[in-house]
Chain A
Amino acid sequence: MANLKVRVPPTAARGQIIEVFALAVHPMESGFRLDNVGKVIPRHIIETFTCTYAGKEVFRAKLHPAITANPYFAFHLVASESAELVFAWRDDKGTTGEERAFLTVT
């Protein structure tokens, strides 16, 4: 799916702290905006964003309307083993986005 883009270094030394980036493609409609006839545009936001590494959750964000459209997160991980990272989001309509990346630890 193209609704989540991630950047993870392909390799890292064991114990190294790496920075990872994730960008979800989503309008993050705040529910406070009006359309051109003055009607409130209903809220439509991502509520949770998670990252798991080797099957363990290592990062979680709970989002509110004050996060911009196309939410962006950068955070860090300790490269402990060669494993898959799974990034995922879920919005208030139940729509989900997911992207995976493999980190090889040398």
Chain B
Amino acid sequence: MGSATPDGRGLISRRRLLQASGAALTMLHVRPVFATPENLAAAIKRAFGSQRIQPGRVKIDIPQIAENGNVVPISINVESPMSVDDYVKRIHLFSEHNPLPDIVEFDLGPDNGKARVSTRIRLAKSQHVLVVAALNDDTLWSAQALIEVTVSGCG
């Protein structure tokens, strides 16, 4: 932390630091989707247009620390009855820092019974993985997870 100045006060006071980190945390919670690098934002736009993406309904199961970025198991679970008139039609996984922002796209429907899919992905470095689920009523839901990658996968 900031070294003390001659008058005995820290360069950054503890109060300021707490305020700043509090603000940063709030931003993380309020803006989960839109603070993204350009190519990721472009990929999201390509996939879903400029439609509003709301946080929620999507759960990502992924290790917080991936020792090998070449093989990272991931499961996506979307809250949905998967009935004929209320189902998830698409789940799209995006990467923040891989060479390409798209990871994989799944098409689902009421025949699946459960909106849960598992696969294994590559992550080039520590980053967020963003998952967007499109429902049949054309609403978009999302979640993101931060993964610490020890050994890079060649994304």
B60 contacts which chain A residues (CB < 8 A)? none
Within 8 A of B (CB), among A48-79: 53, 56, 58-69, 71-78
Which secondary structure dominates where chain A touches chain B? strand
In the complex, whether A17 has a CB less than 8 A from a CB of chain B is: yes
**Of all chain A residues, which has the CB nearest B107?**
A60
In the complex, whether A30 has a CB less than 8 A from a CB of chain B is: yes
> Which of B98, B111, B120 makes the CB contact (< 8 A) with A72?
B120
Report how many residues on chain B are interfacial, defined by Cβ distance under 8 Å: 32
* A56-B109 Cα distance, complex, nearest whole Å: 11
Of the A-B pairs whose beta carbons lie under 8 Å apart in the complex, a sample of 30, sorted by A's number, is: A17-B114, A32-B99, A32-B154, A58-B109, A59-B107, A60-B107, A61-B105, A61-B107, A62-B107, A64-B100, A66-B98, A66-B103, A67-B119, A67-B120, A67-B121, A68-B120, A68-B121, A68-B122, A69-B70, A71-B120, A72-B119, A73-B118, A73-B119, A74-B75, A75-B106, A75-B112, A75-B118, A76-B114, A77-B113, A78-B113
> Which B residues have a C-beta under 8 Å from some C-beta of A?
70-72, 75, 95, 98-100, 102-114, 116-123, 153-155
